[in-house]
């Protein structure tokens, strides 16, 4: 009996904690509608193309004049060698991808969100140049997905916290 009372008390306490789903309402919910109203500007370079494609996959393209926001992204993609052998050859690399992004309200041109996202990956440098280049490319693809996920999550939080309407 006391266990049941304790369970009911815990359930009541959790219901009042204020947590609510970010994407409540699914595709018709307010956050999803705001995310669909974001147009992604072209991003320079191959990694830029990868990030933009990942963002468009997650956000979708606004239909017609439904665009309310413009997302501008600047990337810093860097590969740094470390793990030096005795003959001065690099044995390990770190690829770092950082993005500075701004969400611009198209109605008035105001920057409503200015933030950064980033991640890095380690790459083994092997005797085959082809394998090393393939590993660098795979790291760029993986980092592009991670950075796009971070940007979309932050945009979702922005839409939820500000109560932005589509």
**Residues 101, 122: Cα–Cα separation, whole Å:** 24
The model's confidence at residue 27, banded by pLDDT at 50, 70 and 90, is low
Angle at 144 between CA 125 and CA 120, to 5 degrees: 45
pLDDT per residue over 73-104, tens digit each? 999 999 998 877 778 788 899 999 999 999 99
In a domain, 15, yes or no: no
Q: If you average pLDDT over residues 122-134, what whole number do you get? A: 90
Across the chain, the runs of DSSP E, i.e. the strands, are 38-40, 69-84, 90-105, 111-124
The model's confidence at residue 6, banded by pLDDT at 50, 70 and 90, is confident
> Where residue 147 sits, what CATH number does that domain have?
3.30.160.150
Which pLDDT value is given to residue 48? 96
In a domain, 9, yes or no: no
Three-state DSSP state, 21: coil
In a domain, 129, yes or no: yes
In a domain, 4, yes or no: no
Nearest to 75 by CA among 43, 53, 50: 43
* Whether residue 8 has pLDDT greater than 90: no
Specify the number of domains making up the chain.
1
Q: Which residues contact 147 (CB under 8 A, 6 or more apart)?
A: 51, 54, 97, 99, 117, 118, 119
Which pLDDT value is given to residue 104? 95
Nearest to 118 by CA among 97, 139, 137: 97
């Amino acid at each position: 009996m006391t266990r049941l009372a304790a369970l009911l008390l815990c359930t009541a306490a959790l219901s009042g904690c204020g947590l609510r789903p970010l994407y409540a309402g699914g595709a018709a919910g307010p956050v999803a509608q705001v995310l669909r109203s974001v147009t992604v500007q072209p991003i320079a370079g191959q990694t830029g193309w990868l990030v933009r494609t990942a963002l468009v996959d997650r956000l979708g393209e606004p239909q017609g004049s439904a665009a309310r926001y413009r997302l501008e992204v600047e990337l810093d993609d860097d590969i740094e060698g470390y793990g030096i052998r005795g003959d001065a050859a690099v044995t390990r690399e770190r690829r770092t991808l950082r993005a500075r992004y701004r969400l611009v309200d198209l109605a008035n041109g105001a920057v409503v969100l200015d933030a950064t996202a980033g991640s890095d990956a380690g790459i083994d440098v092997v005797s085959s140049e082809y394998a090393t280049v393939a590993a660098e490319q795979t790291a760029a693809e993986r980092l592009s997905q991670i950075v796009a996920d971070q940007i979309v999550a932050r945009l979702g939080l922005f839409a939820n916290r500000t109560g932005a309407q589509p």
